[in-house]
């Protein structure tokens, strides 16, 4: 008995295949020459995926190169000092990512001979790896047919299919996962998944997508209706919180006071010049900022200050927060009891700054000095 495919089904399969082929041909000709694309070595793919969470490609690339030079293998990373690991992550933000990779490298050396696992479930069980990253590593490093959905893929698929369901609603995201899984050509996930993401990054951009250059415009409903910028649809905008904070530089005998943020706090494991939050969603006058900073510093250190003077401001943004960090330097102070926070603190010279990992704002303060 011969098996016949229904003509409509035949057309659907052909459309799918043409979409896949157009996209993959475009990717082969236009992909960026990224270092982990040379050999698709699992450790490199892992590090790149973790660095690219919350970070733009242009920012992450120099970090990736420096990291691979310092820690070329999982074994080398496992042996590294945590201060050095965080120092190489300095400025990338979301420092738990670096701590998780480091811890996981040690675990892989102890339990798996320093080899990155190939099985999806094992990849998913590694600290700091969720559904997206596990799918990305399984498909990109091992060419396993696993779906992935990131911001670029959400944008491309929502435009191609003109999906008007908000993408920030969890159950709607599931729809994208299923759709992406159905689109993957069997045995071709490595190229296809990267091609979809690359299309989102290089052509189907948030504003002003370059539809004229798009290899899948013939399939794109948003292109046909000239409405790409209407997608993806979002249900709500998260409110930004404005924060004012202050950091204080204390210098004694050409040494500066820094302290270590405890693990478990934001930026845990990083060093900072003493810093305090001053206000949320309330603008303070320059006099209020200075007086409040002096009060908090006196309370914490029991220092007697003659004066503190402003040396600059630093803007920093993190998840839904817009922060202004006012930087002060203490002029003539008398140390009475020393820091009371219980946090580890040290007086270090300028030369020693390079040995201590700081958040990017505090690295800027160090550079100011």
Build a one-symbol-per-residue string for 272-311: x at contacts with ligand SF4 by CB under 6 A, - elsewhere. ----------------------------------------
- Minimum distance, C-beta of residue 211 to ligand SF4, in the bound complex (Å): 3
Tell me if 270 contacts ligand SF4 by CB under 6 A: no
Distances (CA, A) of 221 to 75, 77, 326: 49, 47, 49
Rounded Cα distance between 266 and 335, Å, is 28
Tell me if 195 contacts ligand SF4 by CB under 6 A: no
Tell me if 50 contacts ligand SF4 by CB under 6 A: no
Tell me if 128 contacts ligand SF4 by CB under 6 A: no
Identify which range of 20-28, 41-49, 207-215, 336-344 contacts ligand SF4 by CB under 6 A.
207-215
User: Which H, E and C letters describe 254-274, residue by residue?
Assistant: CEEEEEECCECECCCCCEECC
Q: Which two tokens stand for residue 72?
A: 């070329």
Rounded Cα distance between 313 and 325, Å, is 6
Tell me if 222 contacts ligand SF4 by CB under 6 A: yes
Tally helices (H) and strands (E) across the chain.
Answer: 14, 8
Catalytic residue among 44, 49, 144, 272: 49
Rounded Cα distance between 35 and 92, Å, is 18
Identify which range of 106-114, 161-169, 188-196, 215-223 contacts ligand SF4 by CB under 6 A.
215-223
Q: Is residue 334 flagged as an active site residue?
A: no
Tell me if 159 contacts ligand SF4 by CB under 6 A: yes
Tell me if 101 contacts ligand SF4 by CB under 6 A: no
Of residues 227 through 266, those in contact with ligand SF4 by CB under 6 A are 228
Q: Which is nearer to ligand SF4, 90 or 198 (CB)?
A: 198
Q: Which is nearer to ligand SF4, 68 or 216 (CB)?
A: 216
**In sequence order, what DSSP letters do the residues of 127-173 get, joined into one string?**
TT--HHHHHHHHHHHH--------HHHHHHHHHHTT--S-TTSHHHH
Tell me if 203 contacts ligand SF4 by CB under 6 A: yes
Choose among 159, 176, 161, 164: nearest CA to 227: 159
Q: Which is nearer to ligand SF4, 39 or 206 (CB)?
A: 206
Beta bridge partners of 116: none
- Minimum distance, C-beta of residue 143 to ligand SF4, in the bound complex (Å): 24
Distances (CA, A) of 213 to 151, 251, 297: 20, 57, 57
Identify which range of 79-87, 177-185, 220-228, 293-301 contacts ligand SF4 by CB under 6 A.
220-228
Pair 86, 100: CB distance under 8 Å: no
Tell me if 326 contacts ligand SF4 by CB under 6 A: no
Q: Can you give the binding site for ligand SF4, defined by CB under 6 A? A: 156, 159-160, 203-204, 209, 211, 214, 216-217, 220, 222-223, 228
Query: Which positions are annotated as active-site residues?
Result: 49
């Amino acid at each position: 008995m011969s098996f016949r495919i229904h003509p409509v089904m035949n057309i659907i399969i052909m459309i799918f295949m043409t979409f896949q082929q157009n996209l993959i041909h475009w990717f082969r000709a236009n992909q960026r020459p990224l270092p982990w694309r040379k050999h698709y070595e699992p450790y490199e793919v892992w590090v790149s995926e973790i660095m690219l969470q919350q970070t733009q490609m242009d920012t992450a690339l120099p970090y990736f190169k420096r990291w691979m030079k310092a820690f070329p293998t999982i074994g080398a990373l496992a042996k590294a000092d945590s201060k050095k690991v965080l120092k190489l992550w300095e400025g990338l933000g979301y420092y738990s990512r670096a701590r998780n990779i480091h811890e996981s490298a040690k675990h892989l050396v102890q339990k798996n001979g320093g080899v990155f696992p190939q099985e999806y479930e094992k990849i998913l069980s590694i600290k700091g790896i969720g559904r997206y990253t596990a799918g990305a590593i399984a498909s990109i490093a091992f060419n396993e047919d696993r779906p992935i959905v990131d911001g670029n893929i959400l944008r491309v698929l929502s435009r191609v299919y003109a999906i008007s369901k908000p993408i920030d609603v969890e159950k709607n995201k599931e729809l994208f996962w299923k759709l992406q899984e159905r689109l993957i050509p069997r045995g071709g996930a490595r190229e296809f998944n990267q091609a979809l993401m690359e299309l989102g990054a290089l052509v189907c951009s948030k504003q002003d997508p370059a539809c004229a250059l798009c290899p899948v415009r013939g399939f794109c409903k948003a292109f046909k209706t000239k409405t790409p910028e209407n997608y993806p649809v979002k249900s709500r905008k998260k409110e930004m919180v404005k924060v004012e904070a202050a950091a204080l530089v204390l210098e004694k005998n050409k040494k500066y006071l820094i302290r270590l943020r405890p693990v478990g706090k934001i930026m845990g494991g990083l060093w900072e010049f003493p810093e305090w939050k001053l206000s949320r969603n309330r603008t303070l006058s320059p006099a209020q900022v200075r007086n409040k900073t002096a009060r908090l510093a006196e309370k914490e250190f029991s220092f007697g200050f003659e004066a503190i003077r402003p040396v600059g401001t630093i803007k920093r943004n993190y998840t839904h927060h817009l922060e202004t960090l006012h930087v002060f330097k203490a002029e003539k102070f008398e140390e009475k009891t020393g820091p009371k926070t219980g946090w580890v603190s040290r007086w270090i010279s300028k030369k020693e700054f390079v040995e201590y990992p700081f958040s990017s704002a505090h690295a800027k303060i160090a550079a100011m000095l």
